[in-house]
Amino acid sequence: MKDRRVVVTGLGMLTPVGLDTEMSWKALLEGTSGIGLITQFDASEYPVRIAGEIEGFDPEKYIAFKEIKKMDRFIHLAMAASEMAMNDSGLVVNDENANRVGVVIGSGIGGLPAIERHHTVLMEKGHRRISPFFIPMLIINLASGQVSMKYGAKGPNTAVATACATGTHAIGDAFKIIQRGEADAIIAGGTESVITPLAVSGFASMKALSTHNDEPTKASRPFDKERDGFVMGEGSGIVVLEELESALKRGARIHAEVIGYGMSGDAYHMTSPAPEGEGMARCMDSAIKDAGIDPSLITYINAHGTSTKFNDEHETSAIKRVLGGHAKTVAISSTKSMTGHLLGAAGGVEAVISVLSIVNSIVPPTINLKNPDPECDLDYVPNVSREIDIECALSNSFGFGGTNACLVFRKYSGD
């Protein structure tokens, strides 16, 4: 059976630079940083005091008040981004199609805030004070579960947990499920919210985080020689993927087509990428081959670009390995320079950004790129967004444990 074509009909994201898709996209094009001092707990004595927080988020806009306490914040964010994506798509789940509509939403860490809060309750007040909703509010698959229940989606319902590659794997898995004919539409992406004492302490102890506490907006600086680590952020990025004929039949607006998905494993180190980005390169190459296109059609890359020394250098090497001489002509940007690293939500948000870049023929910049690392010598769209006609965009995500995921999106032409 010939593989079915899969398109993007809905987009939703909330990030440290915006409470919805439109606000986030506008801020990204303007090169706005969402990094500031941590307010979710008192970090004044911590070595890292900065993060990308979502300010002013009100879960009551998206979730019934009595249900809010049954979910941790990462689920709140997923519910919000999913509603944005579903509203954008116009997809209605009913008795006729419910079994053919699925949900694949992942998180890298899940309900760590709930764990920290309830551990304190246990130690101070005893086991009888633990909420009966504690387990459902923290486990990763309840983001998918809650979204499926909200819309009555009875098709495939799974969750992905592959660290920083989570959102990309979730969308890629959903793409393949639809392509194989096992569903007609899937709500897919990633979500994360773990700006907590334990998470910040853990990442800081690994020396993975930037300590530019005095200049938060300049702390995330991918591909810059002065970069000193990533900045934690929170958010959610969700897409509605749909089989092409299903989308056309209901007259849906099609943002772009998903044409390729690649996965690989480094089998090298817990946190460091393989030398020269060998695993990254295999993943990108796999996605491009799955798409069935010549590498020269890649016009834009939304880089993983974490602002850590080895990731940025190795991703650069990997892009050169896969694209050859064409690598020098491709526009590449790391939107983590503005949002920070959203961990399990990063791939979902960056997929939305990649699609919006195709639709609007403009790519966000890599801000804070003032002193380029000589080892990072490609075109990273420094500091100012750029208008560019995009045929195909590649979105990269690489996670701890050496897990890699890449997606290829193409401008939808209707042919």
Structure-block tokens of residue 173:
């898995």
CA atoms within 13 A on the CB side of 319: 32
Cα 201 from Cα 232, distance rounded (Å): 11
> Torsions phi, psi of 61, nearest 5?
-70, -20
Known active-site residue 118: no
Instruction: Enumerate the H helices of 90-183 as residue ranges.
Output: 112-125, 134-138, 142-151, 166-179
Beta carbons within 8 Å of 139's beta carbon, 6+ residues apart: 110, 111
Of the residues 118, 212, 255, 304, only one is catalytic, namely 304
CA atoms within 13 A on the CB side of 258: 33
Structure-block tokens of residue 367:
């801000």
Label residue 149 exposed, middle or buried (CB < 10 Å: 0-12, 13-18, 19+): middle
> Torsions phi, psi of 60, nearest 5?
-65, -15
Known active-site residue 127: no
Backbone CA torsion sign across 180, 181, 183, 184: positive
* 251 DSSP 8-state letter: T
* 191 DSSP 8-state letter: E
Q: Give the H/E segment covering residue 240.
A: strand 235-243
Cα 274 from Cα 279, distance rounded (Å): 6
> Torsions phi, psi of 319, nearest 5?
-60, -40
Q: In one letter, which amino acid is 104?
A: V
Please report the beta strands in 295-364, taking only residues with DSSP state E, as ranges in sequence order: 298-302, 331-333, 362-363
Cα 42 from Cα 66, distance rounded (Å): 28
Backbone CA torsion sign across 31, 37, 40, 43: positive
Of the residues 341, 376, 392, 406, only one is catalytic, namely 341
Known active-site residue 304: yes
Of the residues 76, 164, 255, 283, only one is catalytic, namely 164
Q: In one letter, which amino acid is 191?
A: T
CA nearest to 9, candidates 209, 191, 250, 233: 250
For β-strands 101-106 and 403-410, DSSP reports them as unpaired
Cα 76 from Cα 97, distance rounded (Å): 26
Q: Which residues are catalytic?
A: 164, 304, 341
